[in-house]
Amino acid sequence: MGFRPAGHPRSLPAMHRNVEIELKWALTQPAYAALGERLGVFLGAPAVLGQENRFFDTADRRLRAAFLNVRLRRENQRVILTCKQRRGEQRAGLSDHHEWECELPGDTRRPPLERLPLVVQEALAGESLVDLGGFANHRLDWLHDEDGRHEHLSLDATTFADRIDYELEIETDQPEPSHQAWAARLGAWGIPWQPQPKTKFARFLATQGR
């Protein structure tokens, strides 16, 4: 897994692959606000990230059929190309993917085909990428190490066409212990949550009727 200190830019000169395992928990707006205050006291001031996400696929959606997606993310002043491929069966509240990332010049508007990983290029089979649209996300970011676990916490407010979703994501190298520890902590703090069964990308597609 790849982790970075909150508030410190990633160095992504070349496309690289890692495994991304995340707990994804849905929150109400009051729970989101309360958790932001609690995490600020517990972990200190977060990195604040403004994210604009655009997704790309072929006209016949062959990447989605292969459980792949391609995203360009403008994060503050940086542009990051991310490609993901689902690993095995997904469970509600747990996302497990192969992930490739690299940083691109700030004026990039479309994913350069030569920077895509081979698995994506093979799935495209010569077809062009089209822009599917996207959404904005306001993210508060922390790193946390506990009992030998490395955790990257992101508290998100995501603006879709018809609503704002609130969510806690916990990227972790030990999902079961992280789940137990954070479920107990949020319970002690009186903050309700539910497993989020769908990724942001899937929820975006649902808002588009896809």
Which string of DSSP letters, residue by residue, matches 40-84? HHHH-SPEEEEEEEEEEE-TT-HHHHTTEEEEEEEETTEEEEEEE
Sign of CA dihedral 70, 166, 193, 5: positive
Q: What is the pLDDT of residues 145-192, one digit of tens each?
A: 999 999 999 999 999 999 999 999 999 999 999 999 999 999 999 999
Biggest alpha carbon–alpha carbon distance for the chain: 53
Range of the domain at 175: 16-207
* 3-state secondary structure (DSSP) of residue 72: strand
Check which CATH number belongs to the domain holding 119 and give it: 2.40.320.10
Show the tokens assigned to 73: 């993310």
Predicted confidence band at 17 (pLDDT cuts at 50, 70, 90)?
confident
Residue 11 lies in a domain: no
Residue 8 lies in a domain: no
Residue 203 lies in a domain: yes
Residue 169 lies in a domain: yes
DSSP 46: P
Higher pLDDT, 144 or 1: 144
Residue 129 lies in a domain: yes
Spacing of C-alpha 199 from chain mean position: 8
Determine the pLDDT at residue 89.
Answer: 72
